[in-house]
Structure 1
Amino acid sequence: MKKRHQILCFGEILWDIFHEKDQTWQVLGGAPSNLCYFFNALGESAQLISQVGNDELGDKALMQLEKLNIPYHIIQSDLPTGKVDITIENQEPQYQFNEPAAWDSIPYTENTSHIGKSADIIAFGSLAQRYEGNNSSFATLKQILASNTDAIRFLDLNLRAPHFTEKRILELLSLADILKINEEEFKYLKQLFSLEKLSTRDALYQLIIMLKLNFIILTLGANGSIVMSETDYSAKSIQKAEIKDTVGAGDSFSAAFLTALNHGANFATSHHFANQFSSYICTQKGAFVPIPSKFKAQLTTFSAW
Structure 2
Amino acid sequence: MEAASSSSCGGGGGGKELGLLEVQVAASALRRSEVFHVVKELLGFVLYMHHQIPSVLQNLENDFESLKEKMTEMTLPPAVLKPSDQRKYNIQKREVRSRIKKQEKLMNGISALLSALQQALDEVPSIEGVILILGGSLVRPLFVYDITISHGRFDSGSAKESALTKLAQFVSRKAIRALVSRGAGSLSYTGPSKLFLLVRCPSTLNLPLDFLPKRDFRYSKKVVPLQMHIKCSTEEGQVNTEHGMSTVHAPCCTSESSLSDVIWFQCKHTIRGIPGKASLEG
TM-score normalised by structure 1 residue count:
0.25
Higher share in helix: 1
TM-score normalised by structure 2 residue count:
0.27
Higher share in strand: 1
